Amino acid sequence: MAKKSDVVIGVLAGAAIGAALGILFAPDKGRNTRRRLKKNVADCTERAKSTVQNAVSDVKGEANDIYSRLRKKMSKMEEEVAEIEEQLEDAE
């Protein structure tokens, strides 16, 4: 999971840097350049927020799945321990 999010973050950062450099070096009026730069920053920010929200959602889902599996295994182990305790009591 960490590798996937690192790649996504890298791609978003690269896109943002590329867009900013493209706008800064494009021949246009300062006002237009600032306007486009502001729009690109806002777009990249929204994409980054969405990516982070998706990653958080994925992590929460995985954590819930792991928790559920652990609870089931723990319950099974508790039953087995109770069974062994009964057998030991009967053996005495």
Please state the pTM of the whole predicted model: 0.53
Domain span at 13: 2-91
Task: Provide the domain count of the chain.
Answer: 1
Full pLDDT tens readout for the chain, 92 residues: 457 777 777 777 888 788 777 777 777 777 887 788 788 888 888 888 888 888 889 899 999 999 999 999 999 999 999 999 998 888 87
Tell me the chain's radius of gyration from C-alpha atoms: 27
